[in-house]
Structure 1
Amino acid sequence: MKGHITDKKKKSEKKGAVKRIFLGALLIGIGALILGGCGSSTEETQSEQEKTASAKKEDDKIQIGLTVDSFVIERWIRDRDVFVATAREMGADVNVQDAGADAKEQISQIEYFISKQVDVIVVIARDCGALSDVIQKAQNAGIPVISYDRMINNSNTNLYISFDNRKVGEIMAQALIDAIPQGGDIFMIQGSSTDNNVHMLKNGFDDVLKNSDLNVVYEANCEGWMAELAEGYMEEALEKYPHVKGIMCGNDDIASQVVEVLAENQMAGDVIVVGQDGDLAACQRIVEGTQYMTAFKPIEDLAREAAKYAVEIGSGKDPSELEGVTETVNDGTYDVSSRILEPIAVTKENIDKVIIDGGFHRRDEVYLNADYS
């Protein structure tokens, strides 16, 4: 009997030990779940905090809206690239829109920027006289606007940054006078009449030309800066005035069409052609001898300064207090704070120094079809 009781006691003790082991394991498991749950919660909280901080950092960035007339014109691509790179280096974001040579589309793009509540809008205007109402909307929404390269008329934009367009006209006229000392008939195949720069350029051109022996016998405007129109104008002008000595072209894109027509008439190289912008094709024609001069505008300097100003104005700085903004230009109604850069007359004599040594185009590109040994 005693042995039987002892066996029951041992079994009871064994069951108790098993229960204690089970309960211990259960408590450890529950503790681990609780701790694991806390760890997950902490990780989720940290992740949310990081997301919030990242979003806040993005919100703190200056938001710039840039609307461009059209990337068909070679120089605007370079302007855009330098502008965007500079703005990003300064910690800003740039939303680039291509108006596709459509003034109504550009108005829609500016309205889009207003709805996005960007900090500043930069406009390379398609039609300088068609944007005043939408610019007023932007300003009513508290968004400053910068006229880039082309002044937006009667709009009182916060800043105008460009080159001295009157000076461009002056150096074009002087180049023709220097190259045609005997005088003679010349054509003017200009840019769009809706571009305020075209009028400033013509004023400078006319003022220098009036005391010379050169006579403007034909004038036309490539509306919308459509260079293809120059072909028809040239054919018409040559039919009336076949002994033309020189041609002023609104830009180098127009000059391309002009030189092509001259070549078809075996006149390329005999007629003095001037343009502006320093396009690669124009530089190639200069070293080849079919274009005499391009009024070069260091557009990378323009783009860098414009980006810097956009960030500063978007941060709340007054345009009149910005470094380099030392004058005003009238937009037809208002005097606008302005930054004006100087153009440079580039001919065969200084193209290596200005264009190649300056890093604007490579030597092998410029001299692609000419000897540069």
Structure 2
Amino acid sequence: MSRPIKHPFRLVSGVAVAALLVLTGCTSNSPDSEASGDGGGGDTKAVSANDDPGDTVTIGFSGPAADHGWLAAINSSALAEAEKYDDIELKTAEGTNDPSQQISQVETFINDKVDAIVLLPTDGAALTDIAIEAMDAGIPVINVDREFSSPFAARATILGDNYGMGVSAGTYACQVIDEKGIEDPVIAEIAGIDALPLTQDRSKGFKDALKACGQTVDNRVAAEFTVESGEEQASNLLQAAPKIDILWNHDDDQGVGVKAALDNAGRDEMTFIGGAGSCNAMDWIRDGSMAATVIYPPTQAADGIKLARLIAQDKGLSDLVQVEVPKRIVLNAPVVTADNVDEYSDLCFES
């Protein structure tokens, strides 16, 4: 989901107590370092150089169908991360949106006796039982992005912060309103699919953050995470709102359509905020046609691969005192602006 970097501007959501965890090995921790007697135990797993070669482990990876730029990046980043390690043998299943097919894929991993499974489920609830079956077989499961419905289904879970995205976007909007001295601002929101919990979380975070500066969303429409729906819903929104001061679009893939609608209507009066962190968004920030985007890391499965390797090799995170990989990691949702776009552009994805 990367190297530690200093951010000239970062908004940390109230929920993002789960701060961004850097999962790369800490080179200051020598492989032959030993824990002192004052360190809380004799186990030295957490003070190894995690990227040093270890026992070869077989990891099974099952991800989504790559029918969306962010989802394609999830898959490609996982494959690229595994290739960095000579001690990983990766078994990949074909990307799918069919829970039944994904269940069969996990059954194959279990039968193959892989050492760990990294799974971004098409449906967390539907994949819960088979994930528990893997765990019962002694195969640790790393759950990515969409949570299972039981705590017994995963050894570790790594997530983006949907609520935190909304909080970051809303906090940035409040900052813009204050810096520009906008009175009675008109705030608009283009959500994703309203039936999805992730969309509901993003909208709630946005609404909650706006309360801090006494603001509310004046106009809201919901698209479907596609370019076509983004353009259609943005056009409807622009017709309903002759003036907009702040516009937050939840998803940079559908943002291609949103941007087309804005350009077609000649509407450039607003502060345009995106979501997820596409390469298009990074380019628009550079040329000034978008003010900011809020990151939803497309590298979660890559981090899942790293965690699976550590768990299968009986290691911990070398940057933590704790000797085991945490049970749950929630990645931060930082705001990318012209001030820090170059620091995030290497992690962008193609829409």
Q: TM-score, normalised by structure 2?
A: 0.68
Runs of 5+ consecutive residues of structure 2 not aligned to the other structure? 1-54
Once the two structures are superposed, the pairs formed by residues 282-297 of structure 1 within 5 Å of their partners are 282-296=281-295
Equivalent residues of 1:183, 1:213 under 8 A apart: no
AA in 2 matched with 1:349: D
Q: Which has the higher helix share?
A: 1
Q: What's the counterpart of residue 91 of structure 1?
A: 87
Counterpart Cα distance in 2 of 1:132 and 1:326: 31
Counterpart Cα distance in 2 of 1:193 and 1:123: 24
User: What SS does the aligned partner of 1:143 have?
Assistant: coil
Q: What's the counterpart of residue 187 of structure 2?
A: 186
Deviation at 1:141, TM superposition (A): 3.5
Deviations 1:211-270 (A, max 9, x none): 3354323444445x4453223322333333333333222221122221111112111x32
Q: What's the counterpart of residue 331 of structure 2?
A: 341
Deviation at 1:315, TM superposition (A): 4.0
Q: What's the counterpart of residue 146 of structure 1?
A: 142
Counterpart Cα distance in 2 of 1:229 and 1:201: 18
CA 1:152–1:258: 2 relative to 1, 3 Å: farther
AA in 1 matched with 2:327: S
Deviation at 1:275, TM superposition (A): 1.9
User: What SS does the aligned partner of 1:182 have?
Assistant: coil
CA 1:119–1:146: 2 relative to 1, 3 Å: same
Equivalent residues of 2:191, 2:223 under 8 A apart: yes
Counterpart Cα distance in 1 of 2:66 and 2:234: 25
AA in 1 matched with 2:256: S
CA 1:219–1:63: 2 relative to 1, 3 Å: farther
Task: Report which stretch shifted further, 286-295 or 93-102.
Answer: 93-102
CA 1:187–1:115: 2 relative to 1, 3 Å: farther
User: What SS does the aligned partner of 1:286 have?
Assistant: helix
Q: What's the counterpart of residue 355 of structure 1?
A: 344
Deviations 1:103-150 (A, max 9, x none): 444334333333433222212233344332332333343332212233
Q: What's the counterpart of residue 311 of structure 2?
A: 313
Q: What's the counterpart of residue 204 of structure 1?
A: 205
AA in 1 matched with 2:120: I
Once the two structures are superposed, the pairs formed by residues 216-295 of structure 1 within 5 Å of their partners are 216-223=217-224, 225-267=225-267, 269-295=268-294
User: What SS does the aligned partner of 1:126 have?
Assistant: coil
CA 1:231–1:197: 2 relative to 1, 3 Å: same
Counterpart Cα distance in 1 of 2:137 and 2:101: 20
Counterpart Cα distance in 1 of 2:150 and 2:222: 22
Deviation at 1:325, TM superposition (A): 7.8
Q: What's the counterpart of residue 369 of structure 1?
A: none
Counterpart Cα distance in 1 of 2:122 and 2:109: 17
Counterpart Cα distance in 2 of 1:259 and 1:72: 20
Once the two structures are superposed, the pairs formed by residues 12-51 of structure 1 within 5 Å of their partners are none
For the pair 1:122 / 2:118, whether they are aligned, the reply is yes
Give the % identical residues: 25
Deviation at 1:192, TM superposition (A): 4.2
Task: Report which stretch shifted further, 279-288 or 341-350.
Answer: 341-350
Counterpart Cα distance in 2 of 1:263 and 1:112: 49
Tell me which stretches of 4 or more aligned residues in structure 1 moved more than 6 Å: 324-327
For the pair 1:161 / 2:124, whether they are aligned, the reply is no
**Which protein has the larger Cα radius of gyration, Structure 1 or Structure 2?**
1
Deviations 1:316-338 (A, max 9, x none): 66xxx6556899xxxxxxxx921
